[in-house]
Structure 1
C-alpha cells in the first residue's frame, strides 16, 4: 500500500491485525528502528525481510502492460551516488542487526543496482552470509533498448546476525513443500498477479511465493 506523507503522521500505525500479529507503520525507517531498539536493547525479532530502495529510478525506461514507461518509483528510489547509497545501506542494516535476536536472520532483496552494496555492508557489520537466493522471473518485461540481456532475476541475500549465531533452518518443512527434495537457491515464479494486488498499488510489491520459501 502506497501512503503519502501528507495523509499519515510520522510513526503512525496504519494497519493492525492482532490475529496474525501484523502491524504496518508509516515512518522513517531509521528513526523508527532506533525507537524500537531503545525499547528492546537485546533484540526483538527472529527474522527480518527487507525490501530496500533499489536506486534504479534514474530516468530509464521499461515495459509495463505492453507500453513503454519511465522507471520512476518515487524520490525515495533515486540514487544519490554509490557512496551515499552505501552509507544509507550501512545505517539501516546496522539497525536491523541490533533488532535481531542473537540467533536471528535477515533476508534482503535487490537487483544489481543495490545488492552488491548490501552484501558488502553485511560483511562490514560482521554478519554471516548464509545464502544468496536467485528469484528467476519467467515473464520479465522485455529490454526495450536491445542493448542488454533481459533483466529477469532479483537476488535475496540471507544472513545471520553474526558469526556466532545459530540460525534456524526448517529443513524438513522445506523439503515437504518442495515435493520431498532439497530446495535449491534458484526460485522460479512470476511477479505478483492481480489477485495479490488487493491493497492498493505498491510500486515494488513482492509475490507471496517469496515468503513461502522462507517459512
Structure 2
C-alpha cells in the first residue's frame, strides 16, 4: 500500500520483504537498514534516569535463532534484488544481530567494505551491574561483490573530518530531543549518523531506500541533501511520523 508520495519521496506501508518485490529490479543506489534487534525480552534499561522496560513492540520480539536468521536472510535477499550492481548497503545493529547479518551478507556473496563502530558517549548506564555498559552499535557497509565499483565520496568525507581521513570509529551522541519534535520511535537514529552514511556513498539525485523506515531519519537526511527516498514500514504511525518530519524538515 502506498502511504505517501511526492516528487522525491515514496512511503510504503507493509512488510518490507513483500513490498520490496514490487519495486523495480536494480533501481536503488543505496540502502540503509536498521532491522529489529530482537531486544524486547522483558528486560530493563534506563530512560531519562529512570528504570524502564526494554520492550519496543511485537516486531522486536525474537522468534529464536533460526527464525531470526531466516528473517534477516529473506529481507537481505529482497534488498539484493533492488540494489544496483555498484550500489551499497548499510546495516546497523548491536551484537544481538549484527553478526548474523554479516554472515548472511557473505553467504549472498557480498563484500564488506567497512565495519563502523558508532560510539555513544552518552549511552544509557547498565542497570544490572553484571557486565560492561553497552556504549556502541556496529554498522556494516557492504557491496554486491569485491569487484563492484562502489561509490565513496572520499574528498567530501575527508573535508568533513577537518582535512583528515575519517576513521571507522564515529563518536556521535544518541538522538537529541530536537529531532523528536513530531513523535518518538524507540530505535530512532541521529541525523548526524545518517548524514555520514548517505553523503559518503551517494550523489545528488540518487535513490536511497530504507526497508525499516521507523521515524524516517534516513528520509529526512536524504531529502535535505537532494537525494530521493523510498521508505517502507509495517506500522502506519511511523510512516506518518516520517511524513511529518520530511514535510517540516526538522
TM over 0.5: yes
Q: Does 1:127 align with 2:110?
A: yes
Post-superposition offset of 1:22: 2.2
Residues 200, 16 of structure 1: alpha-carbon distance in 2 compared, 3 angstrom cutoff: farther
Q: Does 1:27 align with 2:11?
A: no
Cα deviation, 1:38-94, whole Å, max 9, x if unaligned, reads: xx23x0111000000000111110000111011100010000111110110000001
Matched with 1:176 is 159
What does 1:191-206 correspond to in 2, within 5 Å? 191-206=174-189
Q: TM-score, normalised by structure 2?
A: 0.77
**Matched residues in 2 for 1:136 and 1:82: separation?**
27
* SS of structure 2 residue aligned to 1:175: helix
* SS of structure 2 residue aligned to 1:213: helix
Q: Does 1:189 align with 2:172?
A: yes
**Matched residues in 2 for 1:24 and 1:35: separation?**
13
Post-superposition offset of 1:17: 4.7
Q: Does 1:136 align with 2:119?
A: yes
Identify which of structures 1 and 2 has the higher relative contact order when contacts are C-alpha pairs closer than 8 Å and 6+ apart: 2
Matched with 2:137 is 154
Give the number of the structure whose residues are more often helix, by fraction. Answer: 2
Matched with 2:53 is 70
Post-superposition offset of 1:159: 0.2
**Matched residues in 2 for 1:12 and 1:141: separation?**
37
Matched with 1:8 is none
Q: Does 1:81 align with 2:64?
A: yes
Matched with 1:12 is 2
Post-superposition offset of 1:212: 1.7
**Matched residues in 1 for 2:192 and 2:5: separation?**
22
Single out whichever of 99-108 and 161-170 deviates more from structure 2: 161-170
Gapped regions of structure 1 (runs ≥ 5): 1-10
Aligned length: 198
Q: Does 1:101 align with 2:84?
A: yes
**Matched residues in 2 for 1:17 and 1:185: separation?**
35
**Matched residues in 2 for 1:69 and 1:17: separation?**
38
